Structure 1
Amino acid sequence: MRCLLPTILSLVMLSSCTTDSSSEVQPIPGSITYGGQPRTKLTKSPPGSAIYNSFYDSTGSRVKETYILQPDRSLKLVRRVIVPDFPSRGGS
């Protein structure tokens, strides 16, 4: 039984992994790549560089995105974080 439990846990964890390309972060309005790649190319930054973008979405939430510059100078959106809006702690 002791040997079986780690095997079962490993199978459960592996079954939740996916290699499907649909798990990629998709651009939303405000993203640099929303509507396609930008017209200007980043020529001074080396491929593999991280580019950061932040904006407010349609609900007023702050969004922070990370892009990686590809060898063909296109941008790949790799991460998006929505920053929670904390209520102000205004005193008296």
Structure 2
Amino acid sequence: MVRIALACLAALSLAACTAGYSGGVEPIRGSITYNGQPRTKLTKAPIGSTFEHTFNDQYGRPVVETYRIQPDRSLLLIHRYVRIEYF
């Protein structure tokens, strides 16, 4: 009985942690999906393909993000890194 209660509690806790989050990386200012999905859809790109988007963050550092095209043609941000430039 205790095991069942603990299993239910664990399942509810996990569901609460992932509610409202679609996976991937959370967008930041400058991300393509920062204010939601873009209005235009990538109709010619194959589903599942990836592409990179580069922009400067609020500190002027170059940020590179990788997006994957989902089956509904929406974009999923799957990876982000800050490019370190040595002068």
Q: Secondary structure at the match of 2:65?
A: strand
Residue 85 (structure 1) aligns with: 85
Q: Distance in 1 between matches of 2:36 and 2:69?
A: 15
1:14-66 CA deviation, whole Å, 9 max, x = no partner?
Answer: xxxxxx64674110011000010000000001100102100000001100000
Give the structure-2-normalised TM-score: 0.72
| Matching of residue 43 in structure 1 with residue 40 in structure 2 | no
Cα distance in 1 for partners of 2:77, 2:69 equals: 9
Q: Tell me, which stretches of 5 or more residues in structure 2 are unaligned?
A: 1-16
Query: What's 1:6 paired with?
Result: none
- Secondary structure, counterpart of 1:28 in structure 2: coil
Secondary structure (helix, strand or coil) at the match of 1:46 reads coil
Displaced runs of 4+ in structure 1, greater than 3 A? 20-24
Summarize the alignment of residues 8-23 of structure 1 with structure 2, pairs less than 5 Å apart: 21=18
- Where does structure 1 lack aligned partners over 5 or more consecutive residues? 1-19
Match of 1:64 in 2: 64
Paired residue secondary structure (1:54): strand
